[in-house]
């Protein structure tokens, strides 16, 4: 098959995104097909800049596929009127909790959180600060993307459910049930969502979330001829399944 490139969870790390795209360009050229696994926003300092960059690439006709992450949906839903919280979150969390990074996203648009603020005020200011192009981008991201032998999604799949019938909540949020299943899926599942120390191959799935949201390097990978390689300035390094 022709090579397909993928980039893991970006989480507002613009300089890391630019570096990952340079690695892909060096390996596959400027027209290389790239699947972005979602979570463009939150935690890192430049969510606004990341969305600007991705939208510019899309509008320039790049062969890019954008998948939606759970953090992207939380941002999208926050901007609805009235604002909407994600019911999958635990009761003590909200998108603006420091653990999730929504405040960092809104800071990148110029909002100030140095003082205690009411949610209604922050929401109204965010609606003015976040461009409609960014809101549209978030709402238009795909939930999954497939090739002949690969299935790309943000979080994972529900084992035993056909790929075409996967639920949005699972594609954006699933962890334990997906990670614990070691049986072969209809296709190799390529995902992010759950940070690991480095891109990892588990036999039936490959996790590309290497923790950029926490300041660790962002992963760019290429899939070709049934193998997966992580890209670096020194070239390709194959990711082999855990024994």
Domain segments of the chain as ranges: 4-68+140-238
Dist CA 88 CA 23 (whole Å): 35
pLDDT, tens digit, for every residue of 136-195? 999 999 999 999 999 999 999 999 999 999 999 999 999 999 999 999 999 999 999 999
Question: Please, where are the H alpha helices in 5-118?
Answer: 14-28, 47-59, 70-78, 102-107
Long-range contacts of residues 121-129, Cβ cutoff 8 Å, at least 24 apart: 122/96, 123/78, 123/79, 123/81, 123/83, 126/78, 126/79, 127/79, 127/81
Give the sign of the dihedral formed by CA 45, CA 51, CA 52, CA 56.
positive
Dist CA 36 CA 209 (whole Å): 11
Paired sense of beta strands 220-224 and 227-232, if any? antiparallel
pLDDT band at 1 (very low <50, low <70, confident <90, very high): low
Please tell me the CATH superfamily of domain 4-68+140-238, with its number. Metallo-dependent phosphatases (3.60.21.10)
Q: How much is the average pLDDT of 217-224?
A: 98
Q: Tell me which residue has tokens 């929401």.
A: 123
What CA–CA distances, in Å, run from 242 to 3, 76, 208?
Answer: 23, 36, 15
pLDDT, tens digit, for every residue of 43-96? 999 999 999 999 999 999 999 999 999 999 999 999 999 999 999 999 999 999
| SS3 assignment, position 16 | helix
What pLDDT, on the 0 to 100 scale, is given for residue 108?
Answer: 98
> Crossing angle, helix 132-140 and helix 47-59, to 10 degrees?
70
Give the sign of the dihedral formed by CA 180, CA 34, CA 243, CA 226.
positive
What are the structure tokens assigned to 70, written together?
């759970």
Q: Tell me which residue has tokens 């979330």.
A: 209
Dist CA 51 CA 14 (whole Å): 9
Paired sense of beta strands 34-36 and 64-66, if any? parallel
């Amino acid at each position: 098959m022709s090579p397909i490139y993928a980039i893991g969870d970006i989480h507002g790390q613009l300089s890391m995104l630019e570096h990952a795209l340079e690695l892909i360009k060096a390996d596959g050229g400027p027209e290389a097909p790239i699947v972005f696994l979602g979570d463009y926003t939150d935690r890192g300092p430049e969510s606004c800049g990341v969305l600007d960059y991705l939208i510019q690439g899309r509008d320039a006709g790049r062969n890019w596929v954008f998948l939606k992450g759970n953090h992207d949906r939380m941002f999208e839903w926050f901007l609805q009127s009235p604002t909407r919280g994600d019911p999958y979150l635990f009761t003590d969390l909200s998108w603006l909790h420091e653990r999730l990074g929504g405040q960092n996203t809104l800071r990148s648009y110029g909002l100030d959180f140095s003082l205690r603020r009411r949610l209604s005020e922050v929401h109204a200011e965010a609606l003015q600060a976040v461009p409609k192009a960014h809101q549209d981008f978030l709402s238009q991201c795909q939930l999954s993307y497939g090739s002949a032998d690969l299935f790309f999604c943000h979080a994972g799949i529900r084992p035993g459910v056909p790929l075409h019938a996967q639920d949005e909540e699972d594609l954006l949020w699933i962890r334990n049930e997906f990670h614990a299943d070691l049986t072969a899926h209809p296709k190799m599942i390529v995902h992010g969502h759950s940070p690991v120390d480095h891109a990892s191959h588990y036999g039936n799935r490959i996790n590309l979330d290497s923790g950029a949201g926490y300041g660790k390097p962002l992963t760019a990978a290429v899939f070709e001829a049934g193998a997966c390689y992580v890209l670096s300035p020194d070239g390709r390094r194959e990711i082999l399944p855990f024994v």
